Structure 1
Amino acid sequence: MYAVTRGRTTPSAGLAMEALVSSATSARLGLSYVREYRAISELCHQVRSVAEISALLGVPLGVARVLISDMEAEGLVRVHRPRSEAGGPDLATLERVLSGLHRL
């Protein structure tokens, strides 16, 4: 897995585990993209959190964050970052993340 991320474990841009990700295209990615990019793109035809993508792909959260960040930079996915006024996630966001994790 770390070969795909070229050894990186931290995304180039901050990416919270509760950030929501959607595919930027309705078309399937071709074979010119790595398998993980194609899998993330398919999963994100339905909006999913970074944590959910990590769990569904069976990859460490750090790896998923790097891949998603790279895909965002290439315009393959859209990342919808949560707003936080106090610097941390609000209680409603944490409850949604916990609920999603329980569903997995």
Structure 2
Amino acid sequence: MSHSDDGYLPGPVPAYVLTGGRTQPKSTLRPETLLSAVLHRPVPDRTAPQKRELLELCRGQLSLVETATHLGLPVSVVRVLASDLIDEGLLCIRAAGPKRELMEKVLAGLRKL
């Protein structure tokens, strides 16, 4: 780690800096929400490094909580960052698989055949 002549050592960026002081996302995102990068959209140069890393992780499909784990950030912070990227058209929400109750009803119906 490098430091300046005055002894300053750079440390981790506080979460409130990453989110611009916001604690609530504009989009409703649950921990299991699946995120996917919009691959045909160019990422603006001004995009923060954490948002770029989030987009890179979501080139396939990843849940919000998995993304937070990979980034080493709190889910609440990643929720705000992801919401911003959704608003910018760089990230989209993918529907999760069907609910267990529905799958059990389908299975029961198939068994009746």
Q: TM-score when scaled to structure 1? A: 0.72
1:11-90 aligned within 5 A: 11-25=25-39, 29=43, 31-82=45-96, 90=99
Q: Is 2:17 the counterpart of 1:3?
A: yes
Gaps of 5+ in 1: 85-89, 93-104
**RMSD in angstroms over aligned alpha carbons?**
2.3
SS at match of 1:2: helix
Distance in structure 1 (CA, Å) of the matches to 2:43 and 2:57: 12
User: Contact (CA 8 Å) 1:28, 1:38: kept in 2 or not?
Assistant: no
Q: TM-score when scaled to structure 2? A: 0.67
Larger-gyration structure (1/2):
2
Gaps of 5+ in 2: 1-14, 102-113
Larger RCO (CA within 8 A; separation ≥ 6)? 1
Aligned length: 87
Counterpart of 1:97 in structure 2 is none
* Deviates further, 26-35 or 36-45: 26-35
